[in-house]
Amino acid sequence: MRALSISAHGGIEQLKYTLDAPEPQLTAADDVRVNIHAAALNHLDLFVVAGVPGVTLSPGAPLGADGAGIVDAVGSAVTGLKAGDRVLLNPGVSCRNCEFCREGDHPLCVRYAILGEHRPGTLAEQIVVPAVNVRPIPTGASFEEAAAFPLATLTAWRMLMSRAQLKSGETVLIWGIGGGVALAAFQIAKRLGARVFVTSGSDEKLARAKALGADEVFNHHTQDVASEVRALTGKRGVDVVVDNVGAKTWERSLRALAKRGRVVTCGGTSGPLVESDVRRMFWNQLTLMGSTMGNDREFDAMMAAFADGLRPVVDSVFGLADGRSAFQRLASGEQFGKIVVRVQA
């Protein structure tokens, strides 16, 4: 089958488009094989190409965490799914048996595996996943939208709804609008009735965010975001900050927070090591929280929002043979929304 993979770590030049990747087989009774129609990229994919500490490369295994397509075959124990169903994938595969899985907190699973990182991914014509990782695509949504939806939206959903517990009427600051998680967080916060401030280094992206309903926008290259936030909130600050940038933004995130504020992170694209002023933390009684991916309950809540009309912002669509261009677009940081790879013509 056709697939996009790497055989060695490095830059985007390591990406190989192959025509003869092995077709995956059903191995467990609860497996499902899906013919992928569209996949979508995440920043994670760039980390996988570069090499993630502790994760061993499977040479030639397809990359890609997000995908959507049509069920091709199901194992003997699978119920409620059949060949021909239009589905999307939950990119996180959990053991369903460890202490965290038994509590329903699947992203903490001790054997947690992400498609395209710890097991074969979605940038291929076919994939095999447990049936529990498959959900029907709501009527009216395209394969491109369905592929662009899960990882970023699930991540943002857990961050805002479960971890930070953002409430209607609260104010949230989101760094780096244009990235998948930032845009999903923006949409979820607006849908909830929160006041949403966003930043970007690009005035063009800020104009687009404004058109989508952002309440205030800041250029983090030319403006002191924390001071602007305090000025706009009567010196109070925001209730929640979504910070996936890390080293470059963390100090400003803490300065932008109100008393009892929460900062939630799912990554640090500018670097992982940050400094937190404990005086600011204890005096303002701040909460710093980490988050990654989401559990089944959050996935289903997010799917209900998808069925209700929530749609990811799609930046661009590439063909699988042109996958390297899709990765270049991702690495450029110029995108506004998800980069989709069309696998079936």
Contacts with Zn ion by CB under 5 A lie at 94-95, 98, 101, 109
> In the complex with Zn ion, which residue's Cβ is closer, 100 or 175?
100
Cβ neighbourhood burial of 144 (10 Å; 0-12, 13-18, 19+): buried
Helices (H), 66-125: 99-102
CB 206 → Zn ion: shortest distance, Å? Answer: 41
302, 17 in Cβ contact below 8 A?
Answer: no
Q: For Zn ion, which is the closer residue by CB, 25 or 97? A: 97
Query: Strands 338-342 and 238-242, how do they pair?
Result: unpaired
- Compute the residue count for the chain: 345
Which residue, 105 or 215, has its beta carbon nearer to Zn ion? 105
- Nearest residue (CB) to Zn ion, 106 versus 208: 106
3-state class of 302 per DSSP?
helix
Q: Which is nearer to Zn ion, 101 or 258 (CB)?
A: 101
- CB of 258: closest distance to Zn ion in angstroms? 36
Minimum distance from residue 104 beta carbon to Zn ion (Å): 10
3-state secondary structure of 341: strand
For Zn ion, the closer of residues 105 and 322 by Cβ is 105
What are the backbone angles phi and psi of residue 171, rounded to the nearest 5°?
A: -110, 135
Report, in Å, the least distance between residue 108 CB and Zn ion.
8
Tell me the closest approach of the beta carbon of residue 130 to Zn ion, in angstroms.
12
Task: Return the bridge partners of 238, or none.
Answer: 257
Please return the burial class of 69, using the count of CB atoms within 10 Å of its CB with bins 0-12, 13-18 and 19+: buried
d(CA 263, CA 242): 6
Min CB(54)–Zn ion separation in Å: 17
d(CA 151, CA 69): 16
**How many other β-carbons are positioned within 10 Å of the β-carbon of residue 278?**
8
Which residue lies nearer to Zn ion by CB, 95 or 132? Answer: 95
Per-residue tokens: 50 = 């570069």
In the block, residue with structure tokens 């029907």: 136
Q: Report, in Å, the least distance between residue 34 CB and Zn ion.
A: 22
